[in-house]
Amino acid sequence: MGANDHIDDDLQLYRDMLIRCLEKEVLPHADKWEKDGWMPREVWHTLGAAGMLAPDMPEEYGAAGAPFEVSLMILEETCRLGLHALSTGFNVHANIVAPYVNNLGTAEQKAHWLPKLISGEAIGSIGMTEPGAGSDLAGMRTTAVRDGDHYVINGSKTFITNGLHCGLLILAAKTDTTRGAKGISLFLVDANLPGFTKGKGIEKIGQHSSDTAELFFDNLRVPAKALLGEENKGFIYLMQELPRERVGIGSQAIGACAGAMALTVDYVNQRKAFGQRLSEFQNTRFKLAELEAEIELNKAYLRQCIGRFKVGAMTTQEASILKLKSTELQVKVTDTCLQMFGGYGYTQEYPISRFYLDARVQTIYAGTSEIMKEVIARGLLDKR
């Protein structure tokens, strides 16, 4: 019996549970949610009750204490099934917010927030991006000024996933405006506090049912005990936690590639042109073969990164390579697959069009491809 056999068993158990839950509670409604541009709040309660929210968090807070791979499997499978909007919400809530609280929070903070995140009572968001500051965190303008036993926060955030449903926001703000990125701190902000305003949802070209919003803070007073970690160390914490986010996005990309390929293989085996199936044309066969080879190579690198992440050995450069190559591949795969559907691929009737549109943002959020290349180059060229 291998050392990882129990992980494989856990993965299969959770995969079966997840698929049953999605088939019953999500897939029958997904098309309507995409058309409406909205996913009901109740979905989170349902998924929480099914144990699908942050299953790898500690059991003492109501989670299953499952292996890290289970959380990644949820991201991969939801994307394979074409539920990228839901998967993006998962990634932020369970793969980013919950680990931040668990890794950086005080005993009081963890006891208060983790059970709510695990059950779905509170949905998690992270507020970094601003209208004038995306990847450039040093340009952040949101401020948090200490006032007795509170901080007073003013500013705004944009493109915030889960922003409208948000119950807990991990907010990045400047506590020292003279130090650039080194003056950033993180706060656990209850979205129900006075001075916290949610703008209207942002309409996007893809992931339509993903809740994305602007958030505004007008003299928002948060207790000093809401500080996550130490003051002015927010940038360090963000850099520490980014690798897990990028492993999650890599898992999403691989899942989406698998889903797009399955749709396309089925289509080309049925569709005929010039008296033969599309799958019999050499162009079709060679293009799909090339994509499959690239997917398998990316899967191997993803597995390597997961192994290194679990022992604390994964570097920022490795995380950036994974994010760059897996998301660029996702865009390539969905584009190539859509082309094989011809005119049908350009219609909303065929799911491949959603795979195509949902893929595009993957090379943008959590660090653009250009930023990933810069990080990789720094690790390669700027060593001292």
Tell me the catalytic residues: 245
Grouping H, G, I as helix, E, B as strand and the rest as coil, residue 30 is helix
- Count of alpha carbons within 13 Å of 107, Cβ hemisphere only? 0
Write down how long the chain is. Answer: 384
Name the token pair of 321.
């390579």
Query: What residues contact 355, with CB distance under 8 A and at least 6 apart?
Result: 82, 84, 256, 259, 260, 263, 334, 337, 338
Cβ burial, residue 335 (10 Å; 0-12/13-18/19+): middle
Name the token pair of 278.
């599309």
| Interior/surface letters 128-158, b for 16+ CB within 10 angstroms, e for the rest | bbbeebbbebeebebbbeeeeebbbbbbbbb
Report DSSP state, residue 97.
I
352-359 helix and 234-270 helix, angle to the nearest 10 degrees: 160
Cα-Cα-Cα-Cα dihedral sign, residues 146, 151, 157, 161: positive
CB 250 within 8 A of CB 323: yes
CB 218 within 8 A of CB 154: yes
| Interior/surface letters 279-304, b for 16+ CB within 10 angstroms, e for the rest | beeeebeebbeebeebbeebbebbee
- Number of Cβ within 10 Å of residue 37's Cβ equals 17
Of the candidates 170, 210, 216, the one whose C-alpha atom is nearest the C-alpha of residue 190 is: 170
Query: What residues contact 62, with CB distance under 8 A and at least 6 apart?
Result: 114, 115, 118, 119
- Count of alpha carbons within 13 Å of 368, Cβ hemisphere only? 7
- Number of Cβ within 10 Å of residue 61's Cβ equals 20
